[in-house]
Structure 1
Amino acid sequence: MIELSAGQGPRGRDAAAIPDFDAVAFGPFSLRSRLLEKDGLPVRLGSRAMDILRLLVSRAGEVVPKNEILGYAWSGLSVEEVSLRVHVAELRKVLGDGKDGARYITNIPGRGYCFVAPVRRGGRAEVATPASRVPERAAPPPSLPRRLDRMVGREDAVAELAARLLRDRFVTLRGPGGIGKTTVATALAHEMCDSFDGNVHFLEFGPLKDGALVASTVAAALGLVVHHEDPSASIVNFLRGRRLLLVLDSCEHVIEEVARLAENIYREAPGIVILATSRESLLVEGEQIFELVSLPGPPQGTRLSAGEVLAYPAVRLFVDRAVAAGHRDDITDEDAEVLARICGKLDGIALAIELAAARVGLYGLREMAALLDNRLQLEWRGRRTAPPRQQTLGATLDWSFGLIGESERIVFQRLAVFAGHFTLRGAIAVAAGAEMAEDRVVEALEQLVVKSLVSTQPDGASRRYRLLDATRAYALQKLGDGGQLAQIAHRHALYVQCTLEAGMRDKEGGDHASRLQESASLLADARAALQWAYANDDGAGLRVPLAGSCTRLFVELNLLNEARIWSDRALAMLDEADRGGAWELELQSTLGHALMFTERNSEQAEAALRRGLEIAEALSDHANTFRLLSRLNMFYRRTGRYRHLVPTALHAERIARVIGDTAGIAGSKALLGVSYHLAGDQAAAQAHLDQGLRDDAALRGTQPGHFAYSRTPQIPLARVLWLRGFPDRALECIRPLVGASAPHDVVMHCIALCWSASVFGWLGDWSSVEVMTGRLTAHASMHGLVPYEAVAAGFRAQSMIARGEAAGGVDLMRSALPRLHADRYELYASAFAADLSRGLVSLGQLTEGIQVLHETILRVEREGGAFDMPELLRLRGELEIQGGNPDAAEADLVASISLAEQQGALSWRLRAEMSLARLRTRQHVQNPLEQLAQTYARFSEGFETADLIAARRMLNEPGA
């Protein structure tokens, strides 16, 4: 980017404040300071339009807001936006924007303007005078194809390739069909014409049907008249001692003959530079490979603005060709998401992008995206003047398909069933059979990679393979036409199921991290296998085991909605042979888990978890017994049924000891710690959480859905530490979470955000509560964890009430609490009800506030009490004081102090002691602050937190 000063301009501005800058070029134009030239000749441009051009070029690829452009070009003046539009129109007209496919300036509605043409830095441009005018270039050699008016996204490749050619002399530009090899080779030939004084010969071998004609074609292009059958020796003799660039385009179908001739030329004619384009390497002496990769496109699943997506060459090419075909030229932020999806589907293949873009004017962007989702259109036609093999994607792929052997064709078609990347093991499992030995599959795959029909990338010590979407659609069509689709799809589904099942066994053996990565790479294939198995009778026998394997993967990848849908669907298809077996266990466990987080803590969720536990115990499956107990414990936490927590956690601990697994034992300690905390025994909670934290490394190896606070045992410990009277240590536990990125386990991250927010609230740090709430809202919404959205609303209402925004906070809390009750999500409901009562009282609705607290206390008592019962009793006591009922108030406050002491919750006791001291001061009781002073003295830290500051003020008041 060229830095331009935002200083003053010529009209009333200080022209010297705008620095001169090195010349830049775009298309046929060059720009230096305030001089614009086209092909070396000055171009007349108004002063305002020049200012606008300078600013846009300086920030090429970036959306420049309209008000910023106005402020720069009309500094100090108040003008209407229409003035900007008029001058941009003038600028576009001068540049020829939109003519012959040229694109320079794009309007981003509601945002501003973006300079989208590639900008090249160069030497300082000279003012064109008769003496210094740049001479016109000589006409290119007649053998060169016409240069495209605009090439998008390949400028760096052309520059690097030119340097490689001058250094290495012999380079093969390799890549799959339609990726743009001929376009790059043509641009390079034109670019290097001057370097070779016009001695550039471009030979297009595509039309050749017979390899024996290669040498005579080259001889004819060089102007040689050769009368014997093989003119190769004459060609080499002619080229020896000469200097020229020889471009050999589309070599793959005559590769043997081209390779032999190119190698002889390289050896015998050192002044000759050779550029070959091919879908496979020539494999001869001297050859260097330049792999032409797909045009970079925006990442999938990421929200980007229009300006951001236009920074990617694949999008720029698509928009450029779409506008040339009649589509509007203003790209909105709403369009950006669709453009990203389209370009992702087209894999950065230039031909595919051009063919699709040419039809946007007919279908529209969203309809085009839907068409590509349904079936890649292999027969869409492109430019009439293109070679026949490049006029459709189907023709391009027919060309490649015709160049491979029978074994390669069979393997190529069978590999099309893979929806994503696959391994060599996967290729063998799907493509090998009685008629195709494994070694033939390996050999065929190697040749498909060499011929650019299969792409490959390293994966640690091994490699992964993939068919690009266009290639895959073509191969699938061939597979279906041959009548083998059902057979190969069944093999594929069986491979997916067996691979995931093996991964499940290995993860239970402790090798979770490495196996999860391998399993995750099967996600696209898992989805494809499920869709096929449930839509075709041939897949009926695989449906239950396939769903069981895939839903475990979905849970591990936090795809809980998919886990719920497929586990529910598979359970409906269970036959008697599967009932009570391992697959029903897996499906019931997954369904209960997924229902809990995506819908509600329903009776169906509990029934599924209990049924899973029943099967696990009947099968003596200790690992799944522990997993089901952990999930049931989570269910009881969420539903507020605290009396069940410690018994299920103790049961889980016994199972963990039977298993003898370090992570399981550490997990059971953390599970017990959380259970004791919520049930109201903070001393026992701290002891068990401390034990769990000591085995933190083991806990981090556990799987998602293992609800022993597997990756964040310090989060429940923070709550326990605050309750126990250690506010500073509590803050140390949760501070690392502020600003931390979300971990892999999205459910645990939600829980960590909720519990951290509660600690910040107890500390009186409402700014941090709001930060946590914002992150929780975004995280829950992103992953479809609907119940947590209501929890986030409750925390937001809590913050509002604490900050004095009682009316808004009460309204929001009144909407959040019914949602939590409907979801049977009671874990946070009691605290939120206490905040609602505070808000109601501040609005003058004391009776209703007391009633809310009274109903909440009764509900908690029915479930055996809870950790926050001392605080609920204290708050009711406070409200009874305001209602003029001191006896009831004192009873509640004394009960709160007694229960807080029993629970080991020193911080609850401090609050209750402050409330009781205020009551006794009003009652003129002797030494009303004595107990408060004793409780305050038990603290050893946290003296700058809200409660301790308030207690100190009471104790330090005059006469205290």
Structure 2
Amino acid sequence: MTLFLEQAVHFGPYRIYPGQRLIMEADQPLRLGRRAMDILLILLKHAGNVVSKQQLIAEVWPNTVVEEINLRVHMAALRKALGDGQAGQRYIITVAQRGYSFVAPYSLESIGQRPQNAPVESSGHNLPLRRTRLIGRKALVDSLVTQLPRQRFITLVGPGGIGKTTVALRVAEHLIGQYRDGIRLLDLAPINDPLMIAGHLATLLDLSLHDAEPLNSLALFLRERQMLLLFDNCEHLIDHVALLCESLLRGAPQVHILATSREGLRAEGEFIQRLESLDCPPPIAVLDRAQALSFSALQLFVERAMASQDSFELSDAELPLAVDICRRLDGIPLALELAAAQVPSLGLGGLLAQLQDSFRLLPHGSQATPGRHQTLRATLDWSFELLSACEQTCLRRLGVFRGGFTLESAAAVIVGEHIEPREVFGSIMQLVAKSLLSVDVGDEEVFYRLLDTTRRYALEKLEQASELPATRERHAERCLALMHQAQKNWEQTPTALWIERYARGLEDIRAALDWGLNTRGPQMLAIRLTAASTPLWQELSLLKEHGGHVRKALALLDAAPEPCPRLKMNLKLALGSACYHVQGGNEETIGAFVTARTLARQCNDVVGELRAVSGHMAVNLSCGNYQMALEQSQQFDQLGLHGDPVLSLSTHRLRVLALHFAGDQSRARLNAEEVIQRMAQSGHLNRFTHGFGVQYDQSVAALTILARILWLQGQPEQAWRTAQQALDIALQINHGTSICYTLALSGCLIAHYNGHTRTARELLHLLLEQAQKNSVLLFYTWARQYAQVIDGADAQASQRPGIGLIKEIMVTLGPGFIDDDLLQRADSGAAGWSTAEILRARADTLLAVDCPVKNCTAETTLLKALNVAKSQGALAWELRSATSLARLWQRQGRYRQAHELLTPIYQRFTEGHATPDLIAVRRLLDELQDNVRI
């Protein structure tokens, strides 16, 4: 058939809008992956005809070479999401040796307007795409959707395999768009340490917890949010989840919670909703096929059987067998799926006979919860016994994965004693076919995962087989191999794609480190993984958490019998970066970089030494040690770069930093423009370049400093455009520390200097949010200082600025931050770039009182400030110092002298005449001119 954009295709309960790539089930959108939607649209376009596998692959993956297995997996996922086979309805069939065909009756309808409930996908939730069609739970889902806004806190309770997660996800899916601040799903199954719950939730909320009371911090953060939180698989952490829920409900009145657990959380305000088994036909009734299929347990069983075997049809003769199977399995969804997966090999008669034999000791039909637990356990045991020896080994070894995994990762963990690589692929496919392994179909890759119930069962079998330590070791080795691959790809891969590719493995890395760094496993493997995974922790801005792992790894490494200087160097570099952002330039930070440099020299590692020097240099700049930083930047040439253009570019950029803060704006400008030109020529502009001690995006960092230089040189409009460009890139790559860096050093400040009051406040709030989210305590502290001026925050609520750069920045925002220490730095030349402003601030405080002696001292100080500003090429500071001096002379009646001082400086400005400094000068010049005429 021909599909037109103005037509919709209706089949079964679905209506497809091809032009909008939208599928509606009744009045609700069905969320499918991109590839699944492509396949469905192609099959609809050729409805009634066979579409070959080769044609589907060519159209769905036009620019990629893929194996046929990819198509098979995506097709299976599509069928499952559509409920192909429900109530005997078949949508897509496999034609042996040929391909696939869409066979369901359909009709075409004209499209009047976009469906009312059509989704507008956004980052407002993190719910997964639908894996299966919900059967027998519609009334319950509808009830929960209505109840949740009133009850606020509902826990779905039931035994494993009863479908709690499926129901919870469907309820949340119905509520997409109903919560202003979105929906967040937290799967607690991979979390064993209750102290990690708050941290994982904070990560989902883009929040970093700094203090010792994480529950209070979470409640405070969520206080004004309207949000739905979905806590899945709570049963092993009940007490701690209950405390979390109670805290959030008390502190955040617009937050609603939906939880799943095998038992209630016993928390204040909790409403328990128990999930019963699916309805089974009664044992004594004689039903025809249509009547029997009205029971949800039989619907699910038949649908899954048809998904497992294309030719399966439930005949009237076999109907009693199917009914008996459903009853023996107590209507438990997971048990029904496991049984249906055996239909192709056993048939209904053989399947029932097997169940009768395996379940002969169970009290069939019991609806008591313990009975259902027994039924599921017996079904898992029975399914496991039906597996081949190779399949059994695969299943139990896959239990070590906490998240999704690829076939390649599965093979790396499975292969070992009693199993060869060539056997893994077929066994994985059999586990999928038998519903023991789930498939997550992404747009580019296919990931496999175990349901929590199956994973726990597999781990139990793994321990019984005495294979747990060896399998965990292979799992850690696989994590290490992936991190080595990630390091190699770090330079060549766009940041968003890199994160998408490797962040999936974070839970498994956490598991491997938790096992290895706590003396339960091979420690050297865990130590190497800690170092190799540094890029991932840095890209995800999880520096505080990574710092904890690094300290453990270093302690273990120090106790190791053999020294590993290169490994220790890399760990010290990682510690320096983490400490700098979380703690600032303290003793631990400096010590980490100094030790790293010593180790790099021992290893004759030039790159390592450059990284150590650059990290230490960043600390010196932050602490105000500008001359020391300038000297360190000159050491780069001595180290030698061996023709490496990336390292050359990085060191050149760092020299710009040192020149700028040391006060040489002219040379800093020339070097900055050369760096950006070289970046553009080499393709590094808008590219993430890594490897130095403190990690920022290269182009963001270069543009940030150029913006500062431009402003100081009297080009406020160009400076603002450059600062905006830096922020745009940082937001585009979504790298937290880079966002904080550019906001703290240019964005907030230049907006304020230029009089963009509202924008400055917005950027300040963004800085506070990003610094808290990404554990960048250094810039969070800076933002709190800025708030005193930019946001009118209570100065008493903020500590006085510490030392170094932030203290000098605050003086440029207001003279009230001047003190004797700053004056001493200015007099000695240590203040570098801010010297003229410190002197001017001192003079302004003297001029606050009209005293001849103080006026004389102020005049001397301002003349010195003028000379410093001129020598540094800092026209902005020159203007400010001249303005203060002109006002003093105006007060003394020296109008002409003041006018002659200020006019040529003002005339050197070619832009920015609407900024506060230039507006004030123009007003002052007019006053002086009037006085001169008089």
TM tier relative to shorter chain: 0.5 to 0.7
Alignment match, 1:75: none
Task: Look up the SS of the partner of 1:777 in the other structure.
Answer: helix
Match of 1:827 among 805, 814, 835: 805
1:896 and 2:865 equivalent?
yes
Contact 2:232 2:261 in 1 (8 A): no
Contact 1:175 1:181 in 2 (8 A): no
Aligned amino acid, residue 827 of structure 1: L
Aligned amino acid, residue 709 of structure 2: V
Output the CA distance in 2 between the equivalents of 1:407 and 1:577. Answer: 39
Q: Residues 570-581 of structure 1: matches in 2 within 5 Å?
A: 570-574=553-557, 575=559, 577=561, 579=563, 581=565
Mean Cα displacement is larger for which, 513-522 or 778-787? 513-522
Shift of residue 891, structure 1, vs aligned partner: 1.1
Output the CA distance in 2 between the equivalents of 1:648 and 1:334. Answer: 59
Change beyond 3 A, Cα 1:711–1:453: farther
Alignment match, 2:217: none
Change beyond 3 A, Cα 1:287–1:570: same
Contact 1:718 1:730 in 2 (8 A): yes
Alignment match, 1:255: none
Change beyond 3 A, Cα 1:370–1:469: same
Change beyond 3 A, Cα 1:829–1:380: same
Alignment match, 2:505: 522
1:932 and 2:902 equivalent?
yes
Output the CA distance in 2 between the equivalents of 1:180 and 1:536. Answer: 46
Output the CA distance in 2 between the equivalents of 1:319 and 1:895. Answer: 81
Alignment match, 2:925: 955
Aligned amino acid, residue 933 of structure 1: T
CA deviation map 1:885-913 (0-9, x unaligned): 11111011001001101111011101111
Alignment match, 2:738: 748
Alignment match, 1:382: 277
Shift of residue 683, structure 1, vs aligned partner: 0.7
Q: Residues 192-203 of structure 1: matches in 2 within 5 Å?
A: none
Contact 2:866 2:882 in 1 (8 A): yes
Match of 2:185 among 308, 316, 341: 341
Alignment match, 2:65: none
Mean Cα displacement is larger for which, 425-434 or 904-913? 425-434
Match of 2:770 among 754, 772, 779: 779
Change beyond 3 A, Cα 1:745–1:515: closer
Alignment match, 2:684: 698
Change beyond 3 A, Cα 1:695–1:426: same
Shift of residue 941, structure 1, vs aligned partner: 2.6
Can you give the 5+ residue segments of structure 1 that lack an aligned partner in the other structure?
Answer: 1-26, 28-117, 122-150, 190-246, 248-272, 347-351, 801-807, 839-848
Identity of aligned residues (%): 24
Alignment match, 1:227: none
Output the CA distance in 2 between the equivalents of 1:152 and 1:301. Answer: 14
Output the CA distance in 1 between the equivalents of 2:153 and 2:124. Answer: 9
Output the CA distance in 1 between the equivalents of 2:838 and 2:906. Answer: 21
Task: Look up the SS of the partner of 2:805 in the other structure.
Answer: coil
Aligned amino acid, residue 871 of structure 1: E
CA deviation map 1:833-856 (0-9, x unaligned): 564644xxxxxxxxxx7xx44343
Change beyond 3 A, Cα 1:343–1:790: closer
Aligned amino acid, residue 845 of structure 2: L
Output the CA distance in 1 between the equivalents of 2:734 and 2:377. Answer: 41
Alignment match, 1:906: 875
Match of 1:922 among 857, 866, 891: 891
Larger RCO: 1 or 2 (CA < 8 Å, sep 6+)? 2
Contact 1:679 1:867 in 2 (8 A): yes
Match of 1:608 among 557, 575, 592: 592
Aligned-CA RMSD value: 5.1
Shift of residue 827, structure 1, vs aligned partner: 1.9
Output the CA distance in 1 between the equivalents of 2:771 and 2:716. Answer: 28
Change beyond 3 A, Cα 1:682–1:340: closer
Alignment match, 1:221: none
Alignment match, 1:5: none
CA deviation map 1:654-712 (0-9, x unaligned): 44x52322122112121111111111110111111111111223362412765576131
Output the CA distance in 2 between the equivalents of 1:154 and 1:945. Answer: 50
Shift of residue 577, structure 1, vs aligned partner: 4.6
Q: Residues 208-607 of structure 1: matches in 2 within 5 Å?
A: 247=88, 320=140, 330-332=150-152, 340-341=184-185, 366=245, 382=277, 385=280, 387=326, 388=329, 389-390=335-336, 394=377, 397-398=380-381, 400-456=383-439, 463-504=446-487, 507=490, 518-574=501-557, 575=559, 577=561, 579=563, 581-607=565-591
Output the CA distance in 2 between the equivalents of 1:290 and 1:602. Answer: 70
Change beyond 3 A, Cα 1:523–1:578: farther
1:857 and 2:823 equivalent?
yes
Contact 1:412 1:475 in 2 (8 A): yes
Aligned amino acid, residue 758 of structure 1: L
Shift of residue 427, structure 1, vs aligned partner: 2.2
Output the CA distance in 1 between the equivalents of 2:520 and 2:901. Answer: 76
The structure with more radius of gyration: 1
Shift of residue 459, structure 1, vs aligned partner: 7.0
Aligned amino acid, residue 719 of structure 1: R
Alignment match, 2:199: none
Match of 1:816 among 798, 809, 812: 798
Mean Cα displacement is larger for which, 333-342 or 539-548? 333-342
Contact 1:530 1:546 in 2 (8 A): yes
Output the CA distance in 2 between the equivalents of 1:679 and 1:373. Answer: 64
Alignment match, 2:722: 733
Shift of residue 590, structure 1, vs aligned partner: 1.0
Output the CA distance in 2 between the equivalents of 1:581 and 1:319. Answer: 64
Contact 1:299 1:340 in 2 (8 A): no
Output the CA distance in 1 between the equivalents of 2:833 and 2:482. Answer: 45
Output the CA distance in 1 between the equivalents of 2:485 and 2:728. Answer: 37
Output the CA distance in 2 between the equivalents of 1:710 and 1:339. Answer: 34
CA deviation map 1:774-818 (0-9, x unaligned): 111111122222232222222221124xxxxxxx54x33x44343
TM-score norm. by structure 1 comes to 0.61
Output the CA distance in 2 between the equivalents of 1:534 and 1:314. Answer: 42
CA deviation map 1:38-67 (0-9, x unaligned): xxxxxxxxxxxxxxxxxxxxxxxxxxxxxx
Aligned amino acid, residue 854 of structure 1: D
Task: Look up the SS of the partner of 1:715 in the other structure.
Answer: helix
CA deviation map 1:521-555 (0-9, x unaligned): 43222111111213453333423222222334312
Output the CA distance in 1 between the equivalents of 2:586 and 2:595. Answer: 14
Change beyond 3 A, Cα 1:515–1:474: same
Shift of residue 366, structure 1, vs aligned partner: 4.9
Contact 1:318 1:354 in 2 (8 A): no
Mean Cα displacement is larger for which, 314-323 or 829-838? 314-323
Alignment match, 2:627: 643
Output the CA distance in 2 between the equivalents of 1:592 and 1:373. Answer: 45
Output the CA distance in 1 between the equivalents of 2:515 and 2:458. Answer: 17
Task: Look up the SS of the partner of 2:448 in the other structure.
Answer: strand
Shift of residue 345, structure 1, vs aligned partner: 6.2
Alignment match, 1:879: 845
Contact 1:418 1:525 in 2 (8 A): yes
Can you give the 5+ residue segments of structure 2 that lack an aligned partner in the other structure?
Answer: 1-12, 14-23, 52-70, 105-116, 156-171, 173-180, 191-229, 247-257, 266-273, 281-296, 298-325, 330-334, 337-371
Change beyond 3 A, Cα 1:566–1:790: same
CA deviation map 1:493-540 (0-9, x unaligned): 122223323543565899999776654343222111111213453333
CA deviation map 1:480-503 (0-9, x unaligned): 232211110111112222332354
Task: Look up the SS of the partner of 2:418 in the other structure.
Answer: coil
